[in-house]
Every structure is written in structure tokens, then in C-alpha cells.
Amino acid sequence: MPSDDVYDLFQNGTRLLEGRDFHAAAVPLRRARDLEPDKTSIREALGRALFGSQRYAEAAAEFEAIVERAPTNDYALFCLGRSLQQLGRHQEARKPLALACCLRPERKDYRLYRDRSRDQAA
């Protein structure tokens, strides 16, 4: 499949994601990811669609793949932590949420969820 088809899949998935049609967005984004597994932008959009579809384990896997490639991606760390929280894995969520806070200390939402995870893990 030519790369412009991957681009079309990504654009279609992103459009559906922006329209909050998370289940539908996951379909073209998953296909795009399978064709270009190293593209973190595709994986981020897919992770967001999966999170919105309440498929938290799958979302966590996508965000973890991004963090492996880009360990200073604060948004991927935050989303990984949030996915783990939704799975009830608060102890595991603490590290990525704390790292996201260190990278972007001005983000109040990062601090809020970091603190919630710390409290839930205690």
C-alpha cells in the first residue's frame, strides 16, 4: 500500500477522532499503524481512540510503544498513566504520571492525576 494511503487512513481516523467517534476512528488508525508501526503520531491518535472507546489495555500498549521510542514525550507518558489508572493499576501509573509532571510542571491536569494515582496506590 503506498504511503499516501497511510496518510489517507490517518486523516480519516483523525477526522473521526475529532468528531468523537472513537470506535470508528480506531479502524483506519489501526490499519495505518499496522502499515507504519514506527510513526508515533499514528500510534498517539490510535491510543486516544482506544482510550475514548474504553479499551484501556490496548490504549496503554499504544502509549507504551510511543514512550519506548520517545521517553520524553510528556503527553504519551500522561496518557499511559491515565490508561493504567483506568485499569485500576494505580501503582504502575505513578511513574509515567510523575515523569509527565516533571517534564511539564505547569500542567495542572498532569499534577491532578499524578496525585490521584498516588492516593489510590497508598
pLDDT number for residue 4: 62
Residue 78 and residue 100 in contact, taking contact as beta carbons nearer than 8 Å: yes
Residue 103 placed within a domain: yes
64 lies in a domain? Answer: no
- Residue 91: inside a domain, yes or no? yes
**Residues 10 and 44 both lie in one domain:** yes
In this prediction, residue 54 has a pLDDT band, given cuts at 50, 70 and 90, of very high
Is position 62 within any domain? no
The phi, psi pair for 107, rounded to 5°, reads -80, 105
The string of pLDDT tens digits covering residues 8-48 is 999 999 999 999 999 999 999 999 999 999 999 999 999 99
Is 23 part of any domain? yes
How many angstroms separate the CA atoms of 60 and 86, rounded? 10
- How many structural domains comprise the chain? 2
- Is 80:64 a contact under the CB 8 Å cutoff? yes
Q: Which domain holds residue 18?
A: 1-54
Q: SS3 of 83, please?
A: helix
Strand spans (E) along 1-122: none
Give this prediction's pTM. 0.93
Residue 109 lies in a domain: yes
Position 122 confidence tier, pLDDT thresholds 50, 70, 90? confident
